[in-house]
Amino acid sequence: MDYQLDLNWPEFIEKYWQKRPVLLKRGFTHFIDPLSPDELAGLAMENEVDSRLVSHDSGNWQVRHGPFTDYDHLGDHNWSLLVQAVNHWHAPSAALMQPFRGLPDWRTDDLMVSFSVPGGGVGPHLDQYDVFIIQGAGRRRWRVGDKVPMQQHCPHPDLLQVAPFDAIIDEETEAGDILYIPPGFPHEGFSLESSLNYSVGFRAPSGRELLSSFADYVLANELGGQRYSDPQVATRRDPSQILPAELDGIRQMMLDLVNQPAHFGPWFGEFISQSRHELDIAPPEPPYQPDEVYDLLSQGEPLRRLGGLRVVTLGDAVYVNGESFTSAHPQALHALANKLTLRGEDFAGALDDPSFLAQLAALINSGYWYLDDEA
C-alpha cells in the first residue's frame, strides 16, 4: 500500500517539529491498516521480535516481555500489546514509514505498533524522541501536556510514568489521524475501543552515545596513538597542581582526534547507519551469481531494500548497516541509498560494469536487498 501524507514539510518543521505537539486530523485519508491484531500478536511470539504487554488493574501496573506463547489469560479491558521495529519484520507496515521521508532518514528510527483493548495504554509518560503516532482501526483518547519539568516514577520496574498533567491536546483519534509529539511532552493514550496505533519514532543520539561510539572507532582503527608531550614543562611551587594550560593541552589533544575530517565523517556514517533493532537478514540460498542479478533486473524485477536497513549518504560514500561503499558509478550507488525499490533503469547503465554488478550481487547475497523472485 502506498501511503500518501498531504503535509507541507517546511511549514510543519517551522511550526511544530521539535517545538510543539499537533494533531494532524486525517493526515492519512482512507487509512487502511497494514497489519491485523492477529498478525501483531503472531510477531510478538517470535524470539527475535521485541515486544511487551502492559496492563493495569485498579492502579496496579504490570509489564510482561515477549516472546509470548499465548494470550489466553488476557481479559477484555486495560491491556496493550506493544511491538518494536515492526518495519523490520513486516514489509507492508514498513510502507508506513515512507511518507515521513520528508525528514532525513538518519533521524528516523523504527515503527512501533500497539494493539490496545478498551482502557489499554502505557499510562502518562514522556519520550526522549520525536514521534508520529498514527491511529489505525478503533478510537483512542489521546492527551498531551505542556513541556514542563516533571518528576518521573516507576509504577513497575519496567515502566516509567509521570504524574497526571493538564492537557493542551485532548482528542479522540480515529483512523488516519496523526499525533505528532516532540521529545519531553507528557502524553497518554487510552483506548476507547480495540485499536491499533503506529508510532514512527525518531532517533537523536546523545553525547554519551556519540563519544562511546567514537571511542570504539578510535580503538578499531588504531587512532590516537600520539602521546601527550611537554618539552617546556613549567615548574611549579606546588607539584600537585595541573596548570590551566596543561588542561587546555589535554583538551586540544582530544579535540584534534575528533577534528580529523578523514575520520569524523566515516565514523559517523558507520555509527548512524547501524540499526538499533535486529534486522531480519536472510541471505539468499544459493547466492546469486552477478549475471542472474543482471538478468532479473533487466527483465524488470524490482529490487527491494530489507525493512529497517539503514542506508545513508555522506559525500561520495554510502553507508549500509555500518559499512562504507564507494563506486565508480556514484549515481547508481546513490539510487540504492535514495530509493527503497529499484528497477534496472535506476542503475543508469552501471549494471554493465562487472565490478558494480559484483558489488550489487554481494549486497543482495548479504540479505540487504532482495529480488521478489525469492519469495
Buried b (16+ CB within 10 A) or exposed e, 224-263: beeeeeeeeeeeeeeeeeeeeeeeeeeeeeeeebeeeeeb
CB 53 within 8 A of CB 204: no
Q: Please report, as ranges, the residues that interact with ligand SIN according to CB under 6 A.
A: 80, 114, 121-122, 127, 133, 187, 189, 197, 199
CB 99 within 8 A of CB 4: yes
**What is the nearest approach in angstroms of Co ion to the Cβ of residue 54?**
12
**What is the nearest approach in angstroms of ligand SIN to the Cβ of residue 113?**
8
Question: Total binding residues for Co ion by CB under 5 A?
Answer: 1
DSSP class of 125? B
Q: Which residue is nearest to Co ion (CB)?
A: 127
**What is the nearest approach in angstroms of ligand SIN to the Cβ of residue 157?**
18
**What is the nearest approach in angstroms of ligand SIN to the Cβ of residue 126?**
9
Closer residue to Co ion (CB): 201 or 344: 201
CB 133 within 8 A of CB 178: yes
Q: Which residue is nearest to ligand SIN (CB)?
A: 114
Closer residue to ligand SIN (CB): 51 or 321: 51
**What is the nearest approach in angstroms of ligand SIN to the Cβ of residue 188?**
7
CB 249 within 8 A of CB 228: yes
Closer residue to Co ion (CB): 127 or 246: 127
Q: Give the other-Cβ count within 10 Å of 276's Cβ.
A: 13
Residues 108-147 that bind Co ion (CB under 5 A): 127
C-alpha span between 351 and 82 (Å, rounded): 42
First-to-final CA distance of the chain: 18
Query: Residue 295: which of 371, 367, 368, 226 has the closest Cα?
Result: 371
Contacts of 201 (CB under 8 A, 6+ apart): 108, 109, 110, 111, 112, 127, 129, 130, 131
Closer residue to ligand SIN (CB): 195 or 273: 195
Say which entry of Co ion, ligand SIN, none residue 199 contacts (CB below 5 to 8 A, set by partner kind): ligand SIN
Say which entry of ligand SIN, Co ion, none residue 327 contacts (CB below 5 to 8 A, set by partner kind): none
**What is the nearest approach in angstroms of ligand SIN to the Cβ of residue 16?**
17
**What is the nearest approach in angstroms of ligand SIN to the Cβ of residue 134?**
9
Closer residue to Co ion (CB): 185 or 288: 185
Is residue 174 a contact point for Co ion (CB under 5 A)? no
Closer residue to ligand SIN (CB): 116 or 321: 116
Amino acid identity for residue 49 in this structure? V
Closer residue to ligand SIN (CB): 90 or 187: 187
Residues found near Co ion in the complex (CB under 5 A): 127
